[in-house]
Amino acid sequence: MDTRRLLRTSALVLATAGLLISGCTGGSSSPSASESASSGGGGGAAPAAALKPYYAQQLKWRPCGVPGFDCATMKAPLDYAKPDGDSVKLAVARKKATGPGKRLGSLVVNPGGPGGSGVSYLQGYAGIGYPPPVRARYDMVSFDPRGVARSEPVECLSGKEMDAYTQVDQTPDDAAETTRLATSLKGFAAGCEKRSGAILPHVSTVEAARDMDILRAALGDEKLSYVGASYGTFLGATYAELFPDRVGRLVLDGAMDPSLASRQMNRDQTAGFETAFQSFAADCIKVKDCPLGTESVADASRRLKAFFAELDAKPVPTGESRELGESLATTAVIAAMYDEAAWPQLRQALTRAMGGDGAPLLSLADSYYERGGDGSYANLMYANAAVNCLDLPPAFTAPKAVQSALPDFEKASPVFGKGFAWASLNCAYWPTPATGAPHLIEAKGAAPIVVVGTTRDPATPYRWAQGLAGQLSSGRLLTYDGDGHTAYGRGSDCIDTAINTYLLDGTAPPDNKRCR
């Protein structure tokens, strides 16, 4: 298992392959006034002279990939502290407003991650799946942030190396297994430095937010209208912090709390997945063929934990060279927690695995890691680590620190706690030091910002939405009392109506509006 604080919406893979995964990243240091000005930043300041060519660039749209979508390449400085230096090329995609009705400008969308491809999300879901009235009046736009997919992607391991990495035991039982895990994490970091050393120091969320302001200008919009899901809420909040006077209509769905340190975020997420698993177990035990029994949620938890222990001792075959061990099986279960629509699939996969066939659970784990049928991996996990390890100091700096924290994590989740604690060691060996730190985001002067939280969200616990909405000077908390990760476009008419009304006529829902 490798949670790597991965946070993205479930919509894209639900639309294309059955499910999509999420995790989480942290905050970044507050920009100083001089940094804001040098980035073309807030307060209405004009872009610094060296940035003017970037802000003045014209996007050259061309048909691409999927009929009805256009693509372009946008340039941004590699290092905003040296805007006259090298640049990066960022992939942008658009689907023009379909009408009828007056065009409202561009709506930039982000699926989360960090590491999620905005271009793929737009073409696979948002550009065709967002409510028709929204698509009628907005040009739907997204981009692959720096380091992601088509935008100077971070690369770390070969497919075979990544296969080995995903199978490493992340619940070590002795010193030898602990050493193997630490060696694996060091090897991952070294691979990223070897293959992507030039881009690694420049993939922070602050830089991505500054890129998004260049995109706003290139699209011809005076203000940014934006829907960010999961990690995309932190990207959107960071934009509001940097450019409060350029905030148009911002929706932050499945929100993160940028004031939390990495260790607290990982611990909170551990508890979030425990809550989601209990909801799954409560649903499962009502079915007579539930693989975790029909007695109680507590018994189901014990059975799953015992099954993981069995896999740790003896993996089961999958019909290919990779066997299903504890790490991949845990990843598969976590994957299915992101959306209750995946619960029947998980029940069947657990039944098969307990009967000796690990293939269905392996398929769920592969969806988490974005592993293709040819054994290649998308760069999601590489970009995810690169951004996370810049945005926050590591949760733990050595195995001894993890061992000391195990009781706290296992209290948060008897089933997942140990694995989540050890996965939180991933940034300890990162070659590029963190440039960010936990902090409050107030975005004083910004227009109303809608923050959406789901009460039993596994990846972004509800308290995070409460935290972000409370920090933002213009935050409006919109609550969905339900299961799964994120809320917009997932079946709640109440949520969808509130957000659509805000996007279409600018009327934000009242603070603390609640939907079921």
What's 453-472 look like in SS3? EEEECCCCCHHHHHHHHHHC
Q: Which of 39-43, 198-202, 274-278, 431-435 has the lowest mean pLDDT?
A: 39-43
Query: Is 312 in the active site?
Result: no
- How far, in Å, CA of 250 to CA of 446, rounded? 10
Q: Which of 459, 458, 385 is CA-nearest to residue 424?
A: 385
**pLDDT bucket at 7, cuts 50 / 70 / 90:** low
Answer yes or no: CATH 3.40.50.1820 is held by domain 1-516.
yes
Q: Which of 120, 367, 485, 492 is catalytic?
A: 485
- Higher-scoring residue by pLDDT: 491, 12: 491
pLDDT of residue 48: 81
Locate the domains of the chain by residue range. 1-516
Q: Which of 169, 211, 457, 496 is catalytic?
A: 457
- How far, in Å, CA of 483 to CA of 8, rounded? 15
Query: Is 29 in the active site?
Result: no
Q: Is 507 helix (H, G, I), strand (E, B) or coil?
A: coil
Query: Is 230 in the active site?
Result: yes
pLDDT of residue 402: 98
| Partners of 109 in the β-ladder | 227
Q: CB of 60 within 8 A of CB of 267?
A: no
**pLDDT bucket at 9, cuts 50 / 70 / 90:** low
pLDDT > 90? residue 36 = no
Cβ neighbours for 344, distance < 8 A, ≥ 6 positions apart: none
How is residue 281 written in tokens?
């177990």
- How far, in Å, CA of 339 to CA of 343, rounded? 8
- When pLDDT is averaged across residues 408-425 and rounded to a whole number, the result is 97
Q: Which of 34-43, 107-116, 249-258, 354-363 has the lowest mean pLDDT?
A: 34-43
**pLDDT bucket at 65, cuts 50 / 70 / 90:** confident
- Give pLDDT tens digits for 124-168: 999 999 999 999 999 999 999 999 999 999 999 999 999 999 999
pTM of the model: 0.92
- How far, in Å, CA of 33 to CA of 403, rounded? 41
- How far, in Å, CA of 25 to CA of 12, rounded? 19
Q: Which of 10, 22, 142, 230 is catalytic?
A: 230
- How far, in Å, CA of 366 to CA of 378, rounded? 11
pLDDT of residue 5: 53
pLDDT of residue 6: 62
Q: Which of 227, 215, 272, 209 is CA-nearest to residue 28?
A: 209
pLDDT > 80? residue 422 = yes
Q: Which of 8-22, 139-153, 333-347 has the lowest mean pLDDT?
A: 8-22
Quick one: DSSP state of residue 324? B
For the chain, give the mean pLDDT. 92
Q: CB of 452 within 8 A of CB of 253?
A: yes
pLDDT of residue 34: 32
